[in-house]
Structure 1
C-alpha cells in the first residue's frame, strides 16, 4: 500500500515538474519571437519616432537649423534635435528646402536616414543630411500662420480716476524659405481731475512694424522689407514712416536660445504736429538701422525676450532713435500666457513745438498683460 502511494506521488510530482518546465520553455520561446507592434497611423496626426523607440503624435510646426518644433498631442510644444528622430510621417503636405536651394513639397516621410516626398502618387527621395528647413506647404496655408494678442488694463476709481491700457497684437507667416511678420502696439493713459471733472491724456502712441525675411542659408538672411509706422502726441509726432532693407545673421540658434543681428540702409519721413514759425513741419532723412533680437527659454513655461534697434538719421529728423523692449512670457495654459514687458524709447533730438516746449528724450513703461496665442 505504502509503495503504491509513493509511486503515485512520484508520478504526480514528475507530471507537475514536466508541466512547469514545458510552460517556462514555451514562455521563453514566445518571448524570443515577440515583435514590437506597428503603430496604426491616423491621418489626423503627424507622427515622429524617436531613436529611443518612442512615438509621438501631434503637429509638425517647422524645422530650421536641425531643430524640429513639434506640437505633441499630449506633451504640448516640443523642440527636438533632428539627430534624435528615427522616423517621421506627415499627415499633410510639407514644404522642404535643401542646402543646394531646392524647394519641394508633398507628404513627408523620413526613415532610415532617407527623406521622401510623396505627391500625386510619385515618390521623390532626398538625402536627409542635406535638409535645411521644413514648413507647412502652401496647400495648408493656415498652418503657415501664427499670432498673438495681448491686453493690459489699469483702472482706478476713488480719489484718483485713471484709465490706462496697452494693446499689442502680431501675426507671422513662416515658410521653408521666408518669414513675414507684423506687430502692432498701442499705449494710452488718462486721468480725471476730481474737482473739475476734466480729463487729461498723459500717453497716446502707436507703433506698427512689419518685415519680410528671406533665408538663403542656415546663418544668413536678407530682410527684403523693413517697415515701421509710429505716432506719438507727446513726442510731437503726427506720424513717422520708416522704410529699409537689411542683411541679417544668426549668431546663436539652438533649441533654447536664439540671437540674431541685422544691419541695413533706411529712409525715414516724419510729420510733426506743431512746430515753430521758422521750422518745417516735416523732415526726410536717409539713415542706417541696426537691430538685434534675443530669445532664451528659461524653462518649458517661461521665455525671456530682448529686442533692440537704433535708427541713425540726421538731427532734424530726431538724430539717433532707440527702441528697446524686454520681458518674460509665462505660459498659463496651452494658449494663454502672462506677459511682463518693459519698453524704453529715446529720441536724441526731439522736435520743439511752437510754444518752445521740447518733449522729453526718454520714455519708459512697464506693462503687465494677458496674452492669447493662436
Structure 2
C-alpha cells in the first residue's frame, strides 16, 4: 500500500501527531512484515518497486532489451530486469513504445499489476518495448564513455603508444544511434610511428522483441602502417537478438554495403583508389559478470573485392571493472586482419594481422 505524506496544517496538532507517530512506529516494530510503505509522491524523483518488495528511489532513464535503466543517488546506475519490476511511479513524463509500435507519452503508474501511461491503459508490462525520456534537451538523450590508455602492440610495429576512445549513445523510444571513435597515435623522437583512427556509427530501430532494423551503418578507418590512407564503408541491414536477458545481450546483424579505399602507396601504374560492393556480418556480446565487472566482445567481417582486401576482420574484447561510480578500469584486446593487403610503391606487403592490447581508465556519463 502506498500512502502520501503531506505537511501539517495547524501547529496545535503537533502533540497529537507526535503521539500518533510514536504509536505507529511501535506498531511497525511489532509487525516487521508489514507491507505499508510511505513514499513522497510529489517529490522530484521516480519510484520503482521490485517483486522482492523493495522500493528504489531515483530516476528512470530507459527501458531497452527487457532491462530497465535506473539512476539512484545511493546505488548509482542500475540495470533491472523488467520481469523484476512490480510497480512504478514516475515523477516526469516518459515516452513508451509498445510491441505494436504505438508510442505513448505520460507519467507511469501501476494499477492492479498493469501499466498506466498518462491517460492510456491499463497495459500489460510485457507489452512495453522501450522507454525513453521526453526531455526536449538534446543532451538528455545522450550517454557514453570517454577513455584513455597505453598500448603494447605487435605485428606491423612493436612499440608502446597511446590510445583514446569515445563511445556515445543517443536513445529515443523508437531508435538508438551509436557512435564510437578510437585513436592510436605515437611519436618517437619527433617521428610519427603510429597513427590509426577508426570511427563507427549505427542507427538502430527496434521493430520487435526479436529483431531490429539498421538503416545506416558506416565505418571510417585510417592505418598508414597498413598502407591504408583512408577507407570508408557504408551499408544497411537488419539484426536479431540471440540472447536478451538482464545479464547477457547478444546480437547479430548483416547487410549489403559499399567500400571506398585510398592507399598510401601503390606500385607504379596502379591506382591508389579502389571501390567495391561489400557485405558485412557483425555480432556484439555484452555480459555482466558481477555487480562490478562487465565483459564486452564484438566482431565484424566485411567482404569486398580482392583489390579492396577481399576479407577484412575486426575484433575487440574488453573487460571493465568499476573503480568508482563513474570511473572504470578497462582492459581491451584488438585484432585486425586483411586477406590481401596492398603492397606499397616498393612492392612491400604489410602484414595481414595487427594486434593491440590496451589498459586504461574510462569515464562514464
Please tell me whether the aligned partners of residues 231 and 239 of structure 1 are also in contact (alpha carbons under 8 angstroms).
yes
Alignment of 1:130-145 (within 5 A): 130-139=127-136, 141-145=138-142
Cα 1:48–1:256 change in 2 (3 A) is same
Which runs of 5 or more structure 1 residues have no equivalent in the other structure?
1-26, 156-161, 193-198
Residues 181-201 of structure 1 deviation map (CA, whole Å, 9 limit, x = unaligned): 110000123333xxxxxx443
- Structure-2 residue corresponding to 1:117: 117
- What is the aligned length? 330
- Give yes or no for the alignment of 1:323 onto 2:314: yes
Please tell me whether the aligned partners of residues 151 and 359 of structure 2 are also in contact (alpha carbons under 8 angstroms).
no
> TM-score with structure 1 length normalisation?
0.83
Please tell me whether the aligned partners of residues 151 and 163 of structure 2 are also in contact (alpha carbons under 8 angstroms).
no
- Give yes or no for the alignment of 1:48 onto 2:39: no
- Structure-2 residue corresponding to 1:276: 267
Q: Tell me the secondary structure at the aligned position of residue 83 of structure 2.
A: helix
Alignment of 1:220-235 (within 5 A): 220-235=211-226
- Structure-2 residue corresponding to 1:82: 82
Cα 1:285–1:35 change in 2 (3 A) is closer
- Structure-1 residue corresponding to 2:194: 203
Please tell me whether the aligned partners of residues 88 and 111 of structure 1 are also in contact (alpha carbons under 8 angstroms).
no
Distance 2:114 2:137 in 1: 24
Please tell me whether the aligned partners of residues 163 and 191 of structure 1 are also in contact (alpha carbons under 8 angstroms).
no
- Structure-2 residue corresponding to 1:242: 233
Alignment of 1:84-103 (within 5 A): 84-103=84-103
Which runs of 5 or more structure 2 residues have no equivalent in the other structure?
1-25, 153-158
> TM-score with structure 2 length normalisation?
0.85
- Structure-1 residue corresponding to 2:356: 365
Please tell me whether the aligned partners of residues 330 and 339 of structure 1 are also in contact (alpha carbons under 8 angstroms).
yes
Residues 255-286 of structure 1 deviation map (CA, whole Å, 9 limit, x = unaligned): 11110100100100001111111211100000
Please tell me whether the aligned partners of residues 184 and 197 of structure 2 are also in contact (alpha carbons under 8 angstroms).
yes
- Structure-1 residue corresponding to 2:342: 351
- Structure-2 residue corresponding to 1:301: 292
Distance 1:201 1:35 in 2: 67
Residues 15-35 of structure 1 deviation map (CA, whole Å, 9 limit, x = unaligned): xxxxxxxxxxxx99x979x88
Distance 1:268 1:285 in 2: 5
Q: Tell me the secondary structure at the aligned position of residue 143 of structure 1.
A: helix
Correspondent of 2:177 among 163, 175, 180: 180
- Structure-2 residue corresponding to 1:338: 329
Distance 1:360 1:185 in 2: 21
Cα 1:140–1:130 change in 2 (3 A) is farther
Please tell me whether the aligned partners of residues 86 and 112 of structure 1 are also in contact (alpha carbons under 8 angstroms).
no
Distance 1:142 1:368 in 2: 29
Deviation at 1:77, TM superposition (A): 2.6
Cα 1:35–1:359 change in 2 (3 A) is closer
- Give yes or no for the alignment of 1:219 onto 2:210: yes
Deviation at 1:81, TM superposition (A): 2.9
Distance 1:181 1:169 in 2: 11
Q: Tell me the secondary structure at the aligned position of residue 91 of structure 1.
A: coil
Q: Tell me the secondary structure at the aligned position of residue 142 of structure 1.
A: helix
- Structure-2 residue corresponding to 1:166: 163
Q: Tell me the secondary structure at the aligned position of residue 234 of structure 1.
A: helix
Please tell me whether the aligned partners of residues 64 and 131 of structure 2 are also in contact (alpha carbons under 8 angstroms).
yes
